[in-house]
Amino acid sequence: MRYTFPDIYNESMQVFFMKIQFNNKLEKQLILGTLKLQKFFIYRVIQRTLLLIFPFALFGSFVKIIQTVVIGKEGFLTDVFPDLSNDFIYRQIDNIATGLYNLSLGWISVIAIFGAAKYTAKHFNRDDQLAGITVVSALLIIDYTYSKVQTFSFHPQILGMRGLLLAIILGISIGWIFKKTSRPVPDYVKLGGAPSVIERSFISAKPIIVSLLIAMLFSTLINVTYYAEAPGNYINTLASEYTSKSPLGQLLKTFIFSIYTLIMSFFGWSGTYSSAGTEKMDTLSTVNLNYALNKHTAWNAPNPFTSSALYHAFATFGGTGAVLGLIIAILIVAKDEDFQTVARWAIIPSLFNISSGLMTGIPILFNIIFLIPFILAPIANMTMAALAIQLHLMPPSVYPVPIGTPGPLIAFIGTNGSWQALIFSILAIIISVYIYIPFVKMAIKVKDLDNLSLEEGAN
Amino acid sequence: MRTRTLRKNKNFKYLIAMLLFFIILGIPSYIWTRKNVTTLAGRYNSPMTPIIMIPGSSASANRFDDLVKTVNNKYGEHHSLLKLTVHTDDSITYSGKIRANDTQPFFVVGFQNNEDGYSNIKKQARWFNIAFNAIKKRYRFNSFNALGHSNGGLIWTMFLENDFNDSNLSINQLLTVGTPYNFEEKNTSNHTQMLNDLIKKRDNIPHNMTYYSIAGTQLYSDDGIVPLGSVDAGKYIYEGQAKHYTLITLTGNKAQHSDMIASNQFITIFHQYIIGNGVNNPNSPDSKQSAIASQ
């Protein structure tokens, strides 16, 4: 592994350019584009922040397996092996798992916002420790629930993975406020004196006050909009309530909401479709289920292109973005040790469609190279599934599937054990692996040229 | 190139392990899904427990708007509300929306013909069944709670005795307010035709349902419209049939027949028994709220 020092950075890059061979124009443009993007400090801050939260995300994803798949009331293992459940012990494990989850993946945004503000402030040579602490308070103020029932509580959605985008934007903004409203921290080591805590605090007093006041403002806004039904709710309602009679309309609707979900997930936000199973109360799926229960078959269900038949059954292998394909692709082609380690650790959570470790460890989030396969692989799988259903090669998935069912088995269970569906699921894995392979190679090339995880990483 | 093949070999075992994992889980999954689809008939796996409400005579489906608003504000909850009106020609009109992921939405079923009288109530019970089947078809749930105000409670009773016969669906709690099981009759020993009819079919009342009946009283005898004895006559139908039967007498401010559902006492009871159900207390073992909400 080569260590590139910042000062000889450009020089070494030249050397690497000689060695790198591009297979085609797209690859060249994508790699050069990414390298350009990586020069922006915001991009570097984001990538660094993601690496910071990776261990917590990975730990949380393992706890989540226990929580939803093993213990969860509708979880896969509890359903498939009901004899395992023993009330008392289960409840104890459940309590422990809930606590561990809520304070790892459950508040991942708090960790992320600390990193984002710290790295931004450091970049501008401001007090990074105080910036990090300030921004944690700011996020918690924003997230504070104005509730009469629970006196000290927060909206859990914003603290978890879903709040990542907000956390990163807010962290960078507050880091920037530190730049604007305070002067650089004197270099005490150079000056030879011990830092005065009081002096440090006063240098950063102004940005701290400004940040907390802004947080207060956002907090009020969020609480007002939360009670007045947040806009996300409208989209969710649209996705589950809006029903189109024509199959083409349904197909279009499912694809549009899938792409929306994928793009949103790529930016650490939440989309309409959850990756944790088909728990949404989709009207069309209910109609399908009733049909299947009456006729005792899933074939010719009235709504063949619902989200559960296409998106949930074929596009979520390994979690949002069909990342099981990415893991296999890395295991097959990646020569990079880091990628391999992350992929190996992510195997087990990904089998249950929990991808947060992989998303932050590679990272996939905000990583422009993976944006294309992250959307393309699920869409390709869905297109294949839609074609197969249309040509009557496979019935649509209409039966309920427990939460955390391994991706390739969702269609199999959802069709009440149709072998055709299983074969198409295997095909879907192969397709997504093939889509991810070239991008994994590109990501490695980019990493060789400009490794974000190395420099300044010690801080 | 040699290192490449070596690495490939190293990862080969992970890929094989993955494959084995799917095969090992695939077989029990196959057996389970076969069993699940035949026995559970698919209503399983729904976190939704709706609250279905029927207003009293001469009230429309909008009767509970204020109640829902008050509950949402007072307890900081976000229940969505869908109102159905069944017309005399059996058609249904909808207003309002169910928010996706709402585990406890409210459904209110009103009737175009909302007149009082036994013959009308019988018709309304039939219309309610139409609305109930429509809800059942559109939304997936395996249990629900119910509220009936005044004659709405009679409609619930008739529905439970005559039409509700679904092994996949269970009613957990029923709460009625000022329901005149014996119409205006004060004396519980004089049974009206309706009460006799209801008692006759009492065996059909679901045995795992818990029933709370609220009677309002002003001056010891009635809530201004319905006599205490008439509400109390419900015991001849529910006692020994439902899992529990509780009669609550509500007095004081707003104990009048129509005002009761706006009284604080009622709202507390309503929230505790009908909405409560483990959601209030996230630590309760039957609540998975905290885990689900934080995904």
How does DSSP assign A253-321, residue by residue?
HHHHHHHHHHHHHHTT---SS-SS-S-S--HHHHHHHHHHHHHT--TT-S-TT-TIIIIIHHS-TTSTT
CA distance A326 to A107: 26
For residue B293, the model assigns a pLDDT of: 35
For residue B291, the model assigns a pLDDT of: 35
E strand map for A322-391? none
Total number of residues shown for chain A: 459
**Number of Cβ pairs < 8 A linking chain A and chain B:** 141
Task: Give helix A337-351 / helix A323-333 axis angle, nearest 10°.
Answer: 140
For residue A454, the model assigns a pLDDT of: 63
Q: State the pairing for strand pair B81-86/B106-111.
A: parallel
Which DSSP helix (H) or strand (E) runs through A323? Answer: helix A323-333
Name the residue among A160, A236, A332 with its Cβ closest to that of B294: A160
Which two tokens mark B28? Answer: 């029990």
Interface of B with A in 168-227 (CB under 8 A): none
What is the DSSP annotation of B228-260?
Answer: HHHHHTTHHHHTTTSSEEEEEEE-STT-STTTG
A448 and B CB contact within 8 Å: no
Backbone angles phi, psi at B32, to 5 degrees: -65, -45
CA nearest B98 in A: which residue?
A237
Number of C-beta neighbours around residue A237 at 10 A: 19
Measuring CA to CA, which residue among A245, A404, A375, A387 is closest to residue A309? A387
Write the pLDDT tens digit of every residue in B51-68.
999 999 888 999 999 999
Block means of pLDDT (10 residues each) for chain A, length 459 residues?
Answer: 45 54 78 84 89 91 82 68 66 84 89 93 88 92 77 80 87 91 74 69 87 90 65 60 72 87 83 60 72 80 84 88 92 86 90 88 88 94 93 88 82 87 93 93 85 57
Name the residue among A80, A239, A335 with its Cβ closest to that of B29: A80
Instruction: Check CB contact under 8 Å for A413 and B25.
Output: no
- Peptide bond connecting A302 to the previous residue in cis, omega within 30 degrees of 0: no
AA letter at A391? L
Which residues of chain B neighbour A68 with C-beta distances below 8 Å? Answer: 291
For chain A, state the CA radius of gyration.
Answer: 24
Beta carbons of A71 and A403 less than 8 angstroms apart: no
Mutate to test the interface with A, among B37, B81, B268 (most CBs of A within 10 A): B37
Name the residue among A237, A290, A347 with its Cβ closest to that of B100: A237
B140 and A CB contact within 8 Å: yes
Number of C-beta neighbours around residue A245 at 10 A: 8
Which residues of chain A neighbour B68 with C-beta distances below 8 Å? Answer: none
Write out chain B's pLDDT in tens, 295 residues.
Answer: 444 554 556 778 888 888 888 888 888 888 877 777 665 554 555 678 899 999 998 889 999 999 999 988 888 788 889 999 999 999 999 988 887 678 889 999 999 999 999 999 999 999 999 999 999 888 878 889 999 999 999 999 999 999 988 777 889 999 999 999 998 888 888 899 999 999 999 999 999 999 999 999 888 888 888 999 999 999 999 999 999 999 999 988 888 888 888 999 999 999 988 987 544 433 333 333 333 333 3
**CA-angle at A367, arms to A362 and A369, nearest 5°:** 100
Which residues of chain A neighbour B11 with C-beta distances below 8 Å? Answer: 331-332, 340
Write the pLDDT tens digit of every residue in B70-112.
988 888 788 889 999 999 999 999 988 887 678 889 999 999 9
Measuring CA to CA, which residue among A425, A375, A377 is closest to residue A397? A425
Instruction: Check CB contact under 8 Å for B100 and A236.
Output: yes
Torsion of Cα atoms, B262 then B268 then B269 then B275, to 10°? 100
Interface of B with A in 222-261 (CB under 8 A): none
For residue A188, the model assigns a pLDDT of: 64
Beta carbons of A204 and A179 less than 8 angstroms apart: no
CA distances from B291 to A74, A77, A145, A420, A432 (A): 12, 17, 18, 34, 30
A273 and B CB contact within 8 Å: no
pTM of this structure: 0.76
Instruction: Check CB contact under 8 Å for B139 and A351.
Output: no
B262 and A CB contact within 8 Å: no
Name A384's Cβ contacts closer than 8 Å, sequence gap at least 6: A314, A424, A427, A428, A431
CA distances from B21 to A400, B18, B111 (A): 22, 5, 55
Beta carbons of A362 and A339 less than 8 angstroms apart: yes
For residue B232, the model assigns a pLDDT of: 92
For residue B200, the model assigns a pLDDT of: 93
What ipTM was estimated for this complex? 0.73
For residue A245, the model assigns a pLDDT of: 67
Instruction: Check CB contact under 8 Å for B45 and A279.
Output: yes
Q: Which residue has the tokens 């949402």?
A: B72
Instruction: Check CB contact under 8 Å for A72 and B75.
Output: no
Which two tokens mark B290? Answer: 């905290």
Name the residue among A236, A286, A331 with its Cβ closest to that of B14: A331
CA distance A306 to A278: 11
Interface of A with B in 339-358 (CB under 8 A): 340, 344, 347, 351
Q: What is the DSSP letter of B99?
A: P
